[in-house]
Structure 1
């Protein structure tokens, strides 16, 4: 049973890697983003999407941690 779990995890991980690789290979067109008058360098679409995803994966938990900390601090003041 333990080996079956490992095999399933490895197969799912390989499928995820293949999906990411296919996404990167299919989205090689270079684009330049314009934000508040600032024009970024020309980068492949896949790089921009992956970087945005990674930044969101960092910012999301940080915001959750800060909100939890503020919530605990406000509960302490009420007690």
Structure 2
């Protein structure tokens, strides 16, 4: 059973890597983003999407932690 779980995990990881590789290879056209008048450097679409994903993965847990902390403080005040 453990071996089957490992095999399924390895196959899932390999398929994920293959999907990411296909995405990166298919999205090589350069784009320049404009944000509040600031124009970023020209980067491939795949790089922009991966950067946005990583930023979201960092900001999301920080916001959840902050709201959880606020909720705990409010519960302590009520108790």
TM-score of the superposed pair, with normalisation by structure 1: 0.98
User: Aligned residue pairs: how many?
Assistant: 79
Displaced runs of 4+ in structure 1, greater than 3 A?
Answer: none
Give secondary structure in 2 for the equivalent of 1:65.
Answer: helix
Distance 2:3 2:73 in 1: 45
2:59 is the counterpart of 1:62: no
- Hey, what does 1:76 align to over in structure 2? 76
Give secondary structure in 2 for the equivalent of 1:28.
Answer: coil
2:23 is the counterpart of 1:23: yes
- Hey, what does 1:32 align to over in structure 2? 32
CA-CA distance at 1:78 after TM superposition? 1.2
TM-score of the superposed pair, with normalisation by structure 2: 0.98
Deviations 1:17-48 (A, max 9, x none): 00000000000001000011010000000000
The runs of 5 or more residues in structure 2 that have no matched partner are: none
Distance 2:35 2:17 in 1: 31
- Hey, what does 2:5 align to over in structure 1? 5
